[in-house]
């Protein structure tokens, strides 16, 4: 059976894009095993797409996304009950603000460099079909789209029957109500890829 991809990643937000980039990176070593073929499925432009948003986080020193930041602070200002202003340096910590559109553009460049196909499809179903994971949906023109892969990871945080649990389908939510596995990580997904070969 032919597959469109080794791993299909449904969801092109921070989690899905980060996962796809990590999976598509060339594997270290002597090149006996190539990186998996990855396809990212994202919603076409329209109401199903998340609007641009801002992520704020604390990080020590220089981080991997500093070149993409909208703003960064190394000082904390607190207003006391009496109105007094207290300014304190944060030491090695910085408070960072990252815009989603900048992050997504940077990840899209990396995916392109790794040869990852990004398909703009509204997903209607995703299932573990035994020998393959199958994602069905419609593209922006309404044409039917079917993607077959040896593994599926949904980062959309949709629980219940999407995708159904199975040896070829995993679901992860980084802020929703469910996660399978309970602690998603890049090594866990690389293990999934290894099991699927």
Q: Name 6's Cβ contacts closer than 8 Å, sequence gap at least 6.
A: 36, 37, 38, 149, 150, 151, 193, 196, 197
- Is residue 85 scored above 80 in pLDDT? yes
Rg of the Cα trace of the chain? 20
Q: What pLDDT, on a 0 to 100 scale, did the predictor assign at position 31? A: 60
pLDDT digits (tens, 9 = 90+) for 23-48: 888 777 656 667 889 999 998 888 88
Second-level CATH architecture of 5-50+100-196: 3-Layer(bba) Sandwich (3.50)
Q: What pLDDT, on a 0 to 100 scale, did the predictor assign at position 89? A: 94
Q: What pLDDT, on a 0 to 100 scale, did the predictor assign at position 156? A: 63
- Is residue 181 scored above 70 in pLDDT? no
Q: What does the alpha-carbon distance between residue 144 and residue 126 come to, in Å, rounded to a whole number?
A: 14
Could you give the residue range(s) of every CATH 3.50.50.60 domain in the chain? 5-50+100-196
Q: What pLDDT, on a 0 to 100 scale, did the predictor assign at position 184? A: 39
How, if at all, do strands 169-171 and 144-154 pair?
A: parallel
Output the CA torsion 104→110→112→114 (10° steps): -140
pLDDT digits (tens, 9 = 90+) for 98-135: 999 999 999 999 999 999 999 999 988 887 777 778 88
Q: What pLDDT, on a 0 to 100 scale, did the predictor assign at position 125? A: 83
Q: What pLDDT, on a 0 to 100 scale, did the predictor assign at position 153? A: 79
pLDDT digits (tens, 9 = 90+) for 130-174: 777 888 899 889 999 999 888 777 776 543 444 444 444 554 443
The distance between the two most distant Cα atoms of the chain, rounded to a whole number of Å, is 71
pLDDT average, residue stretch 182-189: 41
- Is residue 2 scored above 70 in pLDDT? no
pLDDT digits (tens, 9 = 90+) for 45-71: 888 888 899 999 999 999 999 999 999
Q: What pLDDT, on a 0 to 100 scale, did the predictor assign at position 72? A: 95
Q: What pLDDT, on a 0 to 100 scale, did the predictor assign at position 101? A: 94
Q: What pLDDT, on a 0 to 100 scale, did the predictor assign at position 100? A: 93
**Could you give the residue ranges of the DSSP H alpha helices within the chain?**
14-24, 100-113, 186-196
CB 8 within 8 A of CB 19: no
Q: What is the DSSP string of 155-184?
A: -S---TTSSPPBTTEEE--SSSS--BSSS-
Q: Name 193's Cβ contacts closer than 8 Å, sequence gap at least 6.
A: 6, 7, 23, 36, 151
């Amino acid at each position: 059976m032919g597959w469109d991809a080794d791993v299909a990643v449904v969801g092109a937000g921070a989690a899905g894009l980060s996962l796809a980039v990590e999976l598509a990176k060339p594997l270290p070593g002597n090149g006996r095993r190539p990186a998996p073929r990855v396809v990212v499925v994202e919603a076409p432009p329209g109401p199903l797409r998340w609007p641009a948003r801002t992520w704020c986080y604390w990080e020590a020193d220089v981080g991997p996304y500093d070149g993409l930041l909208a703003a960064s602070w190394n000082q904390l200002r607190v207003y006391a009950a009496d109105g007094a202003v207290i300014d304190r340096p944060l030491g090695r910590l910085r408070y960072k603000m990252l815009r989603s559109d900048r992050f997504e553009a940077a990840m899209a460049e990396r995916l392109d460099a790794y040869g990852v196909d990004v398909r703009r499809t509204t997903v209607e179903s995703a299932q573990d079909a035994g020998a393959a994971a199958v994602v069905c949906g419609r593209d922006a023109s309404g044409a039917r789209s079917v993607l077959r892969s040896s593994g599926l990871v949904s980062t959309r945080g949709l629980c219940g029957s999407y995708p159904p649990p199975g040896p070829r389908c995993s679901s992860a939510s980084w802020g929703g109500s469910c996660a399978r596995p309970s602690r998603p990580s890049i090594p866990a997904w690389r293990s999934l890829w290894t099991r699927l070969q």
